[in-house]
Amino acid sequence: MLRVGTLVLSGMDRLTLARLDTAPLAATAKAALDGGTESDLPSIRAWRATFAAMGFKPTQYRSAAEALLRRLRTDGSLPAVHPVVDYCNAVSAAMAIPLAAFDLDRVDGALTVCEAIGDERFLAFSGEEESPERGEVIFRDEGNRAHARRWTHRQSRWSAVSPETARVLLVAEALHEGASGDIERMMALLADGFSAAGARVMEMEAT
């Protein structure tokens, strides 16, 4: 059963970024991979099964968490983007659960996880504008913009977190046995980390 955790962070443009320590989280993720691969982890297996059920090849379309863990296993480190994004990625890797981070001021109204109609707009990080396939699971706002494609596969450049971002919506989703407890622990990690850096944290209930 799907379990979801959501947080809204504000004051993100005034953080003490040095307090966002990713090293312990990366070490936890590395320990989970010791002697195996990311596909051995129950949370990753659950997302692989879900992607396969949606008609996607699990080795071609990976959840964001699996992609991070694969990068960590092969390169020995997580990508460095921006301290806020890096902390989110480190928590995602440590928990092996995909985590989306949206700049709320770049989202038009409510954000809904739904099947695409096919006329939505998605801005890739390459700068290319795409249209999701009809029936594909996306995050869609009221302006008909897709902010994530193939559910937990990849996010849009449009609402990506940047140094100018003031408000962030975090969404974590898990499907494995024991997901409820893991989502709770993940939300606590995120809330504690960002609170320590000076953010105001509000927990939301996904509807």
pLDDT tens sequence across 107-151: 999 999 999 999 999 999 999 999 999 999 999 999 999 999 999
- The confidence score (pLDDT) of residue 204 equals 80
Average pLDDT of the residues in 66-91 = 97
Average pLDDT of the residues in 10-18 = 97
Among the residue ranges 7-11, 46-50, 55-59, 115-119, the one predicted with the least confidence is 55-59
- The confidence score (pLDDT) of residue 35 equals 87
d(CA 37, CA 46) in angstroms, rounded, equals 15
Give 110-116 contacts, CB < 8 A, sequence gap 24+: 110/141, 110/142, 111/139, 111/140, 111/141, 111/147, 111/169, 112/139, 112/140, 112/141, 113/137, 113/138, 113/139, 113/151, 114/138, 114/140, 116/140, 116/146
Average pLDDT of the residues in 79-95 = 97
Average pLDDT of the residues in 158-162 = 97
CB 169 within 8 A of CB 111: yes
3-state secondary structure of 32: helix
Burial annotation 5-15 (CB, 10 A radius, 16+ → b, else e): bbbebeebeeb
- The confidence score (pLDDT) of residue 30 equals 97
Average pLDDT of the residues in 87-103 = 98
Q: How confident is the model at residue 205 (pLDDT cuts 50, 70, 90)?
A: confident
| Model confidence at 186: pLDDT above 60 | yes
| % of the chain surpassing 90 pLDDT | 94
Q: How confident is the model at residue 196 (pLDDT cuts 50, 70, 90)?
A: very high
d(CA 146, CA 112) in angstroms, rounded, equals 9
